[in-house]
Amino acid sequence: MDIGAQLLQAGNLMLTGMVGVFVFLSILIFAMRLLANFAAQFKEVAPSTTRSKTTRATSSQGVPQAHIAAISAAVAAYRKNY
């Protein structure tokens, strides 16, 4: 094949390729916008679960505080003795 014909093919490939990449990634942008909206709907359901989690966290935080007090008392006692 002569170089002129090859160049023509390469030019065609350049054009098709760039159009292909842009079209594909543009569709992906559109899909990602849809995805963001879809995921935003999920967030509305989420608060109830997060709230229950946070309440559990605060209730569970109370117990460690007692532990912390006990541990610090023990550390203080240890330091006093040694």
Partner 1 sequence: MEGLLNLWQATGLANFTVPALCMMAVGCGLLYLAIAKGFEPLLLVPIGFGAILTNIPVAGLADPGGLLYYVYYIGIDSGVFPLLIFMGVGAMTDFSALIANPKMLLLGAAAQFGIFATLFGAILLNYIPGFEFTLQDASAIAIIGGADGPTAIFLASKLAPELLGAIAVAAYSYMALVPIIQPPIMKALTTQEERQIAMPQLRHVSKTEKILFPLAVLGLTILFLPAATPLVGMFCLGNLMKECGVVDRLSKTAQNELINITTIFLGLAVGSKLAADQFLTVETLGILALGAVAFGIGTATGVLMAKTMNKFSDTPINPLVGAAGVSAVPMAARVVNKVGLESNPHNFLLMHAMGPNVAGVLGSAVAAGILLALVG
Residues that bind partner 1 (CB under 8 A): 3, 6-7, 9-11, 13-14, 16-18, 20-22, 24-29, 31-33, 35-36, 38-39, 42-43
Q: Could you give the CA distance from residue 15 to residue 24 in angstroms, rounded to a whole number?
A: 14
Q: Could you give the CA distance from residue 60 to residue 49 in angstroms, rounded to a whole number?
A: 16
If the CB atoms of residues 29 and 66 are measured against partner 1, the closer one turns out to be 29
**Residue 9 Cβ vs partner 1, minimum distance, rounded to whole Å:** 6
Q: Could you give the CA distance from residue 38 to residue 35 in angstroms, rounded to a whole number?
A: 5
**Residue 49 Cβ vs partner 1, minimum distance, rounded to whole Å:** 13
Q: Residue 70: left (phi > 0), alpha (psi -120 to 50), or beta?
A: alpha
**Residue 44 Cβ vs partner 1, minimum distance, rounded to whole Å:** 12
If the CB atoms of residues 1 and 66 are measured against partner 1, the closer one turns out to be 1
